Amino acid sequence: MVDIKFKFVHAADLHLDSPFYGFSAESEKIQKILRDATFVAFDNLINLCIEEDVDFLVIAGDIYDEANNNIRGQYKFYEGMKRLEQNGVKVFVSHGNHDHLGGYRATIKWPENVHFFSCEKPQEIPFYKNGTVVASIHGVSYPKRDVRENLVCDFKVTSQDTYNIAVVHTNVGGRSDYENYAPCKKEELLKKGFDYWALGHVHKHEIINPAKPVIAYPGNTQARNIKETGSKGVLLVEVEDGNTSYEFKETQYVTWIELKQSITELQSGEELIEAILKKFTKIRPQKGGVIARLYLEGRGELHYELTKKGFDKVLLELLREQEEVERDGFVWVESLILQTGLRIDKAKYLQEASIVGDFLQVAGKTLQSEEFFEKIKKSALQIYEDVNKVGRYISPPSDEELKSWLQEAEEVGLQYLLEDELDAT
Ligand SMILES: [Mn+2]
């Protein structure tokens, strides 16, 4: 193996110009910020390559969010490639399902530092440093969106004297939460003789194998929804004497998180607001912003006010009003989810021979019945199948979500039954 040190960045799933569904009605400002977030993350990636003075960048697919409607994404990507060219950074791109080669391409004359892998079979491109080949980059692109065949079989190491990197968009191990495009198995990758498998497709960062070979998903550069919580970024990789070290580097502009606040100990609305703001202080980032899904939970005095008097809506407005989303360090509440309950002694009511007691007994039995749950699940999921296109914009509820709906139904029922009592107090 040639003894020259080099550095590269492994990125994937940039999804440039991703639209962030579901924000249209609330605020134009936040909508614009989210629309730009994938581009800010892209700039962060380009800046990282320049600041770290890397030799090259590999991208394992899904540069654009849409294969066709992506002209803004293509021009922004072009600008980034020009900046890398000016800084002597080469780029190797394998396209994936979102940016497959069958899609629209603007008439862009790409700078010479950028190589796009073709879709016929894996190509191998040598990378020279100081006149010597120090690495060989292999890659293949998707010719169309729906690639179901294994693309990894055709990857071959031709020389063990160089550091071999494979760049491919693939579902390793056929993960069910991702489309099963170009599936392959970890065991295959281990056996192929490569030094580094630069993968894309899975949006959650994961090191599948730590060394010899490194097999990694950097995850996407910017999260787009609540399913993609936490840090997002790329891998900065350094190779010396054939040994690989790597570090995860954040690129995201906006971070998605789930926040939980209990109402159990709280007596008033102000106390609740203060408790939430305290949490905001802890999560407020230096740069960019946080999009939070706020869960209110626990049994307490405030439940009635929140559900019956519309305090939940006011609370959401108050929390949003004071945030300047154009500035770094904003916290935007995406939605407020009530999982609170009445402050009642459920055990006491359960013992009672009253309508409330009967209701709680029936509800309790129903909630525990597997058969009932399967029935509810079947009819709920049917809606997502029946209504054309719904599945594209809203994902069907998970078992956990469905169960929380059923819990909520019990609370609503309870509230109706106890209404007069509560209104009297
Ligand atoms: Mn993707």
Domain map (residue ranges) of the chain: 6-250, 255-424
* Average pLDDT of span 382-400: 74
Separation of CA 345 and ligand 1 centre (Å): 48
Q: Count of H helices and E strands in the chain?
A: 11, 15
Tell whether the model's pLDDT for residue 191 goes beyond 80: yes
Tell whether the model's pLDDT for residue 32 goes beyond 70: yes
* Average pLDDT of span 194-206: 97
Separation of CA 139 and ligand 1 centre (Å): 17
User: How confident is the prediction for the chain on average, in pLDDT?
Assistant: 91
pLDDT at 352: 87
**ω into 19 cis (within 30 of 0):** no
* Average pLDDT of span 301-325: 89
DSSP 295-321: EEEEE-THHHHHHHS-HHHHHHHHHHH
Separation of CA 235 and ligand 1 centre (Å): 16
pLDDT at 367: 86
The pairing of strands 6-11 and 233-240 is antiparallel
pLDDT at 126: 97
pLDDT at 51: 98
> Which of 82-96, 169-183, 201-215 is least confident?
169-183
Tell whether the model's pLDDT for residue 92 goes beyond 60: yes
**6-250 to CATH, choices 3.10.20.90, 3.40.718.10, 3.60.21.10, 3.40.50.2300:** 3.60.21.10
The three-state secondary structure class of 166 is strand
DSSP 378-408: HHHHHHHHHSTTHHHHSPPPPHHHHHHHHHH
How far lies 90's CA from each of 99, 327, 342, in Å?
20, 34, 61
pLDDT at 3: 63
pLDDT at 416: 85
pLDDT at 28: 80
Separation of CA 67 and ligand 1 centre (Å): 12
Separation of CA 202 and ligand 1 centre (Å): 7
Q: Model pTM?
A: 0.85
Dihedral in degrees, nearest 10, Cα atoms 137, 138, 142, 148: -140
* Average pLDDT of span 149-156: 94
Q: Could you identify the residue written with the tokens 């490639």?
A: 81
pLDDT at 122: 95
Tell whether the model's pLDDT for residue 21 goes beyond 90: no
Separation of CA 90 and ligand 1 centre (Å): 22
> Which of 10-24, 265-279, 325-339, 360-374 is least confident?
10-24
Separation of CA 220 and ligand 1 centre (Å): 7
pLDDT at 390: 64
Separation of CA 55 and ligand 1 centre (Å): 25
Contact call for residues 251 and 41 (beta carbons, < 8 A): yes
| Percent of the residues in the chain that have a pLDDT greater than 70, as a whole number | 95
252-274 per-position pLDDT tens digit: 999 999 999 999 999 999 999 99
pLDDT at 1: 57
Tell whether the model's pLDDT for residue 24 goes beyond 60: no
Higher per-residue pLDDT: 396 or 212: 212
pLDDT at 17: 93
pLDDT at 308: 78
4: confidence class by pLDDT, cuts 50, 70, 90: confident
Q: What is the DSSP letter of 201?
A: S
How far lies 42's CA from each of 26, 95, 304, in Å?
26, 16, 45
Separation of CA 332 and ligand 1 centre (Å): 25
227-231, 305-309, 405-409, range with greatest mean pLDDT: 227-231
pLDDT at 23: 64
- State the greatest distance between any 2 C-alpha atoms of the chain, in Å, as a whole number: 89
Q: What is the rounded distance in angstroms from the CA atom of residue 67 to the CA atom of residue 105?
A: 9
* Average pLDDT of span 216-231: 94
Contact call for residues 91 and 115 (beta carbons, < 8 A): yes
342-359 per-position pLDDT tens digit: 888 888 888 888 999 999
Residues within 5 A (CB) of ion ligand 1: 13, 62
Q: Find, among 271, 274, 312, 320, the residue nearest to 295 by Cα.
A: 312
Q: What is the rounded distance in angstroms from the CA atom of residue 159 to the CA atom of residue 293?
A: 50
* Average pLDDT of span 26-43: 89
Separation of CA 59 and ligand 1 centre (Å): 11
